[in-house]
Amino acid sequence: MNGPAIFGWAGPLLLLSPATGLTAFIHTPQGHWMTVDETEIRLPAGWQTAIEQILANGGGRVLVLGAVDSGKSTFCRALMAAADRRACTYTLVDTDPGQKMVGPPATLSRSQPTTPDRLAAIAFVGTTSAAEALSGVRQGLPRLMKHHGQTTLTVINTSGLLSGRGRALKATVIDAARPQLIVVLGDDPALDAILQPHRRLPVLRLAASPHARRRGRNERRRARMAAFAEYFGEAAHAVTLPLKCARWQGDREPIPRQLVGLADQNGQDRALGVILERPDQSGVSLLAPECDISAIRLLRPGRLLLSESWEAMPIGID
Ligand SMILES: Nc1ncnc2c1ncn2[C@@H]1O[C@H](COP(=O)(O)OP(=O)(O)OP(=O)(O)O)[C@@H](O)[C@H]1O
Ligand SMILES: [Mg+2]
């Protein structure tokens, strides 16, 4: 084979070359093709067979567990790419509030079927730290899972926090996501403790990605800033929400630049907002992306302030 083989993908495109392996591309709204993470996915030994097995068995809800930088998000991408090649419908539920595959940080997110880079729904957890996200996950994930629709495959990505609070967090994620298969990447001993109460669930153990790059604090911080910038970026505008229409949850006054969740009458988060000014008689002024603001009934305070350059800083609310 001389050149790379190209597989069609409704949004993203995959490029397979004998020299470089598998590369995923995204077609941006501006009409450019961009590589996912600007890296190539090189499928580690065992991953390809596992992916083929998962799809041959009909997909279902597949939850991916592993330590930080073990290749979880990459495995999710490779699995969705393979589903796409087989014209199998799929959805991504991203339960990592920090390093998002889809949607803004401080949320759990669900992508539109077969379009992993397009947001279908969010659940606001108020923090980008997995260690702080337990109550938000407990509340938000069941709702996000309920509407996962009729897709053949639901890929559930997780954060890399495994021990300490990570154990309770993973128990909550597993309970809410009800996976039919857990894919475990690597052999971190904390994984055994997480899996122990779920002995009846099928588990597929694979090697962690040997090609995974360790990302430092700065790279992770920049990734979060970029994800917030993309979410609020050009689409966001200032709106005033009358406080007689929408209730502020909690006792503390909103703080300028505080990140908030904007929920409808069913408690479903429709969007995120950033408080611009302290509320007055006309209501609360905030920055929000395009959404049906008249449907907002509840403002949920986040535990973060977002700077104008989209850097998130924790505020001690608890
Ligand atoms: N098989 C691979 N081929 C090419 N690049 C890879 C591969 N596996 C991982 N990487 C790269 O290594 C980095 C870390 O991988 P990835 O994001 O998948 O890990 P993760 O377990 O999801 O990390 P986190 O715990 O932060 O969510 C990413 O930049 C990713 O593109
Ligand atoms: Mg990840």
pLDDT tens-digit map of 206-234: 999 999 999 999 999 999 999 999 999 88
For 95, 180, 249, 310, the CA distances from 195, given in Å and listed in that order, are: 17, 13, 35, 36
The model's confidence at residue 1, banded by pLDDT at 50, 70 and 90, is very low
Crossing angle of the two packed helices 134-146 and 165-177, in degrees rounded to 10: 10
Nearest ligand (C-alpha, residue 213): 1
Collapse the DSSP code of 134 into the 3-class scheme (helix H, G, I; strand E, B; otherwise coil) and give the result.
Answer: helix
The structure's pTM equals 0.88
Give the Å distance between the CA of 209 and the centre of ligand 1.
Answer: 7
Average pLDDT for 25-49: 61
Q: Tell me, using a 6 A CB cutoff, whether residue 71 lines ligand 1.
A: yes
In single-letter form, the type of residue at position 42 comes to: R
| CB of 73 shorter than 6 A to ligand 1 | yes
Please give the Cα distance from 34 to 51 (Å, whole number): 24
Indicate which atom in ligand 1 lies nearest the CA of residue 37. Answer: 31
Calculate the CA 45 to chain-centre distance.
Answer: 26
Side-chain half-sphere exposure of 3, counting CA atoms within 13 A? 4
Q: In which residue are the tokens 């939850």 written?
A: 63
Nearest-atom number in ligand 1 for the CA of 185 is: 21
CB atoms within 10 A of CB 197: 12
Q: Decide if pLDDT at 302 tops 60.
A: yes
User: What does the domain layout of the chain look like in residue ranges?
Assistant: 40-206, 232-314
Q: Which atom of ligand 1 is nearest to the CA of 47?
A: 1
Q: Can you point out the beta strands (E) in 194-236?
A: 203-206
Q: Which atom of ligand 1 lies at the shortest distance from residue 78's CA?
A: 1
pLDDT band, residue 31 (cuts 50/70/90) = very low
- Taking 60 as the threshold, does the pLDDT of residue 188 lie above it? yes
Q: Give yes or no for residue 147 having a pLDDT over 90.
A: no
* Residue owning the nearest CA to atom 8 of ligand 1: 212
> Whose C-alpha lies nearest to ligand 1, atom 15?
71
| Dist. CA 89 → ligand 1 center (Å) | 24
Least confident piece of the model among 2-11, 66-75, 113-122, 230-239: 2-11
Query: What is the 76 CA–ligand 2 centroid distance (Å)?
Result: 9
25-56 burial code (b ≥16 CB/10 A, e <16):
bbeeeeeeeeebeeebbebbeebeebbeebbe
Question: Does the domain formed by 40-206 have CATH 2.40.50.140?
Answer: no
First to last CA, the chain: 60
Q: Is the minimum distance from the CB of 116 to ligand 1 under 6 angstroms?
A: no
Which segments within 197-266 are labelled E, that is strand?
203-206, 237-241, 247-248, 258-263
Q: Is the pLDDT of residue 17 over 60?
A: no
Q: What is the mean pLDDT of the chain?
A: 87
Alpha carbon distance 107, 90 (integer Å) = 20
| 44 secondary structure, DSSP code | P
Q: Is a pLDDT exceeding 80 seen at residue 10?
A: no
